[in-house]
Structure 1
């Protein structure tokens, strides 16, 4: 048995690790799961990719099978990392339609979580650009699922957290791009009302996101920096940038050890937020060219950045709130965090559209992501935030979750009965089970 966790390093659970190197081996492991779940690169923050008894690591199934440059359709094995996909296709003028905040996730994981990016408000999530999926069911049957073939299974698999079968391969669509640069505009918002208004006005932008100073209080509650972005066309580049039309990812530094617990606290968080806000404010109203990787994946520049939170790890509380209740609920959540002085070291606000799958996280509204180091009393604070989310008609992101209750989960996912019915059909013996599924009784 091996003790593993998600990216947040909490919780830690024992599981038997299985490392299939072929499709047939992955098929056998799925049939023999007792019970277990597939795992990509372990970037789900909580326990979604930790099997109750067995965990099938898909990292070795990482080949690219076929590509059609006319349609942008790419067929790959589920263990392919987005960073390797991008390294191959960015210089050829193609990029995924949707990417999350890290490139170190697998295609299979991106489908299982129906990951979203900074463009969900106008272009949807990762699942929207999946053409078909090749699944092996716990019964041993291999099925190709799409919107036309086995549509219910396809819908349940998008965002289904690996609980409908092990994804072996998928065909996805890539977008054509002229350069590897993003034209970014920065705006300053002095409070939450202005932040929401700026994101509403930024609906026409392909990419939009707000960094929020979650420790600001009073009249400054919810102050933020809003970043809007577009893929730069070739004519947007100057001579210096044309010479480096498709900049590749630079080698990253790595966090060598766990940070001592005293490094991250309310005072260091407040100091960082003030410096970050002022630095961003100096760029306000200007347009800058940013390479693809630092724009979409800023944290990838520091390997093992989760060590910054110390040995106890961290949890991310990511919720989505329907538009009609978002502003008042966000204000209450931020006010409680600021008053309690919880050390939230990341607070990101984005506008979302509808999800693609029955357990997809997005809904039309606003999502707030908050990272907290694990400290005494934290979970009671998070329980209070959960109550606000449920009262507003929102829900929590399963790919980031490590501790929500069954009641919170059930209240947020109205399509749960459909998903459960599909799951019973494809896995009548209940062989596929992660620690998350066990905890939430999915």
Structure 2
């Protein structure tokens, strides 16, 4: 588990005044003079899961399964249950979560609050599309069951609502059928962005899951090169191991970042040129959750932590804007090894503040080097804003309030439904501050 109350990027560090462990979903909210914020496994990268000087409601104690319909593929559980725990339960019965992010160490409440998306967004959309209903405990004591038919406004505000509409106590979700825990996986090298978009187009109908790694430090005629990965679940009579705990762990935080700089340029080049295997079958976890095999990998970025920038660019400007983003990163020499490029599908999310939308998403990690890193991210925000895109709040630690309001124009409707007793460091920053956290 991540440092309690701190985001996965380990920057900024905004300790709460109080932390309350929740274990009974039927209990009332704790009495406090500070604002409240639910906090699960802390895998949001920046300050959306932090409540500096406020009260954090630690939800991992709400970890019970309520009902699993093995025939219909419907699961009800408390909001603190992790995706890892769900997969251990449902995969042996031929079911899978409809959408998963790049880690399985996320709670159901966190998956809904951030409306997470996965490598199958072009087929399934975001997590929120598959939520049937949930219970929301508001600060006035009301318990409201929210669904597309009941308390619809709060249903839409809570999906992607960053935990600000109240405490979600339980949720019911639709699962997706799978023939078994094996996937047929293929990796294809591409030389530039035109090839990436062609591969995305060709794979949309043939492959349920697709994503690309991109060498964001390559320049000149090598710019935009990367490796495109695609996969489908397949039937296989061989037994597959259940999810295993991480095999490796980063035992301590090094005094300086171990990722980035000249090492990243060398590593990116070697990774791009590495031999690629032919299409093969493998268990699903290495493809869907590649970094879960290394516990506490975020420590590799050193004591100052790191910042991620994940954006989405609409189809009409995606090619040119992604090229401009990559040029800005390469010019700054601050490239990331963990650079992910993917095309989203057209399926809309019900959430008022949901991030995933039609277009192309690019996610980049940067060691926190202070003003140089912040200036680069400000420049990237400007490219995104000019292209009509958006930056993902779950990955953010410094976007300006002006940009947030541009990226999420339905925020006034959301604010009307936000619980007045709930807040976060992120929300206070984008509503009242400049957005920059030193």
Report the TM-score when normalising by structure 2.
Answer: 0.93
What does the per-residue CA deviation read over 1:301-356, in whole Å, with 9 as the maximum and x for residues that have no partner?
A: 00000001011100100000101111101101101111110142211011113333
Identify the residue that residue 126 of structure 1 maps to in structure 2.
127
2:50 equivalent to 1:50 = yes
Whether the 8 Å CA contact 1:181–1:246 is kept in 2: the answer is: no
Whether the 8 Å CA contact 2:257–2:367 is kept in 1: the answer is: no
Identify the residue that residue 307 of structure 2 maps to in structure 1.
315
Identify the residue that residue 87 of structure 1 maps to in structure 2.
88
Whether the 8 Å CA contact 2:257–2:301 is kept in 1: the answer is: no
2:308 equivalent to 1:306 = no
Identify the residue that residue 12 of structure 1 maps to in structure 2.
13
SS state at 2:50 partner: coil
Whether the 8 Å CA contact 1:98–1:117 is kept in 2: the answer is: yes
Runs of 4+ residues over 4 Å off in structure 1? none
Whether the 8 Å CA contact 2:246–2:295 is kept in 1: the answer is: no
1:411 equivalent among 402, 406, 410: 406
2:430 equivalent to 1:440 = yes
- Give the Cα–Cα distance (whole angstroms) in 2 for the partners of residues 323 and 275 of structure 1: 31
- Give the Cα–Cα distance (whole angstroms) in 2 for the partners of residues 41 and 414 of structure 1: 29
Identify the residue that residue 34 of structure 1 maps to in structure 2.
34
What does the per-residue CA deviation read over 1:116-156, in whole Å, with 9 as the maximum and x for residues that have no partner?
A: 00011121010111100111011110000000111111011
- Give the Cα–Cα distance (whole angstroms) in 2 for the partners of residues 136 and 337 of structure 1: 43
Shift of 1:91: 1.8
Identify the residue that residue 265 of structure 2 maps to in structure 1.
270
Distance 1:359 1:262, change over 3 A: closer
SS state at 1:323 partner: coil
What does the per-residue CA deviation read over 1:149-168, in whole Å, with 9 as the maximum and x for residues that have no partner?
A: 11111011110001111110
- Give the Cα–Cα distance (whole angstroms) in 2 for the partners of residues 76 and 395 of structure 1: 32
Shift of 1:250: 5.2
- Give the Cα–Cα distance (whole angstroms) in 2 for the partners of residues 266 and 355 of structure 1: 37
- Give the Cα–Cα distance (whole angstroms) in 1 for the partners of residues 301 and 44 of structure 2: 16
Compare the two structures and name the one with the higher helix fraction: 1
Relative to structure 2, which stretch is displaced further, 300-309 or 173-182? 173-182
Identify the residue that residue 436 of structure 2 maps to in structure 1.
none
- Give the Cα–Cα distance (whole angstroms) in 2 for the partners of residues 259 and 198 of structure 1: 39
SS state at 2:204 partner: helix
2:111 equivalent to 1:110 = yes
RMSD: 1.6
2:361 equivalent to 1:367 = yes
Q: Unpaired segments of 5 or more residues in structure 1?
A: none
SS state at 2:60 partner: coil
- Give the Cα–Cα distance (whole angstroms) in 2 for the partners of residues 3 and 38 of structure 1: 12
1:32-431 to 2 correspondences below 5 Å: 32=32, 34-52=34-52, 53-204=54-205, 205-233=207-235, 237=236, 242-245=237-240, 247-249=242-244, 251-261=246-256, 263-279=258-274, 281-283=275-277, 286-353=278-345, 354-376=348-370, 377-423=372-418, 427=419, 430-431=420-421
Relative to structure 2, which stretch is displaced further, 300-309 or 45-54? 45-54
SS state at 2:57 partner: strand
- Give the Cα–Cα distance (whole angstroms) in 1 for the partners of residues 359 and 336 of structure 2: 22
- Give the Cα–Cα distance (whole angstroms) in 2 for the partners of residues 262 and 51 of structure 1: 26
SS state at 2:415 partner: helix
What does the per-residue CA deviation read over 1:385-432, in whole Å, with 9 as the maximum and x for residues that have no partner?
A: 000000000111011111101011011112112212222xxx3xx210
- Give the Cα–Cα distance (whole angstroms) in 2 for the partners of residues 213 and 43 of structure 1: 25
Q: Unpaired segments of 5 or more residues in structure 2?
A: 433-438
Report the TM-score when normalising by structure 1.
Answer: 0.93
Q: How many residues are matched?
A: 424
- Give the Cα–Cα distance (whole angstroms) in 1 for the partners of residues 196 and 430 of structure 2: 34
What does the per-residue CA deviation read over 1:150-198, in whole Å, with 9 as the maximum and x for residues that have no partner?
A: 1111011110001111110000111122210111121111011211221
